[in-house]
Every structure is written in C-alpha cells, then in structure tokens.
C-alpha cells in the first residue's frame, strides 16, 4: 500500500481506497447501474484529444457496456485499485492517481491502466467528477 501525499491524511486514503474497492467490484461484475452511481453529473473525461462532458447516468452506462463486454471476453474477473498518490484540493475534493490491475480467474494480473480522478466527497462516499487517463510511459 502506498502512503498518502503530505496534504492527504491516512483517513482520506482509507476512504478513497474503500470507494475504489467498491468501484472495482462493480467494474469487474459489469454492474452498470452501480458504476453510473459513482459519477457526479456533469462529469468530465479529459484526454489528449478531447474533453468529453458526461451529463447523465445513461452515458456512463453506455460507455462502460462495451468495456464490460471486453473484460468478459478477455477473461478478466477482477479490478484491483492501487492508489499511487493522493492529494486534497479542498475539504470536499480529492485528486487520486490510481493504477488498476485487471485480474484473470487465477488472480494473475492480465492488464493494467492508470487514471487520475478528481473525487468529490459525498455524504457517505465519493463521486467521480473528472477522469484523466494516464499514459504509463509519460
């Protein structure tokens, strides 16, 4: 487990890890409704090519539908989040740099991706406001 950056507490780290664990279970299960519930609306996905506004849960469901099918076709059954760094921007916002390890039925790592998330602290959980894919070679 990584340690939080200097401006995040262990409490922040544990809360974000719990959120990501739940999100990973939903990703692995292809639970599109739960995945959509993790987003704040509007949300933003920012890549080198574009900034995409996500205005409603149906957009999230549709985006993840093909990803869920791809995971199943490749035999991926688990998504494990590793927080690489964490920083607070305010009392209610947290930046998380996350490496996802996608696991096969034998718990072997079959694929990885990295993202930075801007998370808004909600009543009992976090909501994803911004997603930025991270190039592992950058």
**Residue predicted with more confidence, 25 or 7:** 25
| Gyration radius of the chain over CA positions | 15
Dist CA 73 CA 104 (whole Å): 11
Dist CA 129 CA 120 (whole Å): 7
106: domain CATH number is 3.10.450.50
pLDDT at site 11: 67
- Assess if residue 78 is contained within a domain: yes
H helical segments located in 1-138: 10-29, 32-37, 57-73
**Residue predicted with more confidence, 71 or 25:** 25
Q: Which residues lie below 8 Å from residue 16, measured CB to CB, with a gap of 6+?
A: 83, 86, 94, 96, 119, 126
- Assess if residue 43 is contained within a domain: yes
39-43, 54-58, 73-77, 134-138: least confident range: 134-138
Helix (H) / strand (E) element for 135: namely none
The per-residue pLDDT for range 110-131, each reduced to its tens digit, is 999 999 999 999 988 999 999 9
- Assess if residue 5 is contained within a domain: no
- Assess if residue 28 is contained within a domain: yes
What is the number of structural domains in the chain?
A: 1
pLDDT at site 120: 97
- Assess if residue 3 is contained within a domain: no
Domain that holds residue 99: 10-133
- Assess if residue 138 is contained within a domain: no
- Assess if residue 50 is contained within a domain: yes
- Assess if residue 1 is contained within a domain: no
């Amino acid at each position: 487990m990584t340690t939080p950056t200097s401006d995040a507490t262990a409490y922040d780290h544990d809360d974000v890890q719990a959120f990501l664990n739940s999100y990973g279970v939903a990703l692995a299960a292809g639970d599109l409704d739960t995945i959509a519930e993790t987003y704040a609306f509007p949300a933003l996905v920012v890549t080198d090519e574009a900034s995409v506004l996500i205005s409603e849960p149906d957009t999230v469901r549709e985006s993840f539908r093909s990803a869920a099918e791809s995971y199943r076709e490749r035999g991926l059954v688990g998504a494990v989040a590793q927080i690489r760094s964490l920083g607070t921007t305010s009392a209610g916002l947290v930046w998380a740099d996350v490496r996802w390890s996608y696991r096969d039925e034998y718990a072997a790592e079959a694929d990885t991706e990295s993202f930075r998330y801007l998370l808004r602290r909600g009543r009992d959980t976090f909501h994803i406001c911004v997603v930025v894919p991270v190039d592992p070679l950058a």
